[in-house]
Structure 1
Amino acid sequence: MWIFTAPVRGVYHFHVHIYGWYSIVSLVKNGSKMVTAYEYDSSGEGSTSNSVSVLLEAGNVVYVVLWAASQIYTTTDHYNTFSGHLLFTV
């Protein structure tokens, strides 16, 4: 599981990108869904992404949840990514 814990209070920007077949993932903050990325291509594999900017308190966690029955492809080519960075402190 991809997990980020905020070190300081501030506004952060997060992005998730997935590659697979019938793939649904959500970016979650402290157990509450913020955004979801959905991909389905009946002809085979595809990709999707989503991003969000959010105010976090120090200690808040943001993580990615793969929905049940979703399939993502994983290889050493790193098709699936989760990234984030601090935009500014508050």
Structure 2
Amino acid sequence: MSISLRDQFAAAALQGYCSQPDAGAWSHGYTATAAYQQADAMLAERDKASGELKRVRLAAQNMVNKPEGISVEKAGELILGLLDNYGADS
């Protein structure tokens, strides 16, 4: 049996929860549920960023194929969107 990305994310979240000073006051069920909720949130954010990147990639490919069909403003928006996805400093 292999471990899924969701399980890996949950394990990382669980380590964080268990390192908290008051972790002993939490039930095992609570920490396990919270870890998987965190993992689900990380996966959702990952999927959202992936979808945005695909949109930017497609638009960039359209720019390459038909450069006369895209404005400088649109090109700038696409580049800024790509930078935002990767957390580049402004």
Q: TM-score range by the shorter chain?
A: under 0.3
Hey, which of these two has a bigger chunk of strand by percent? 1
How high is the TM-score relative to the length of structure 2? 0.22
If asked which structure has higher relative contact order (CA below 8 Å, sep 6+), I would say 1
Higher Rg: 2
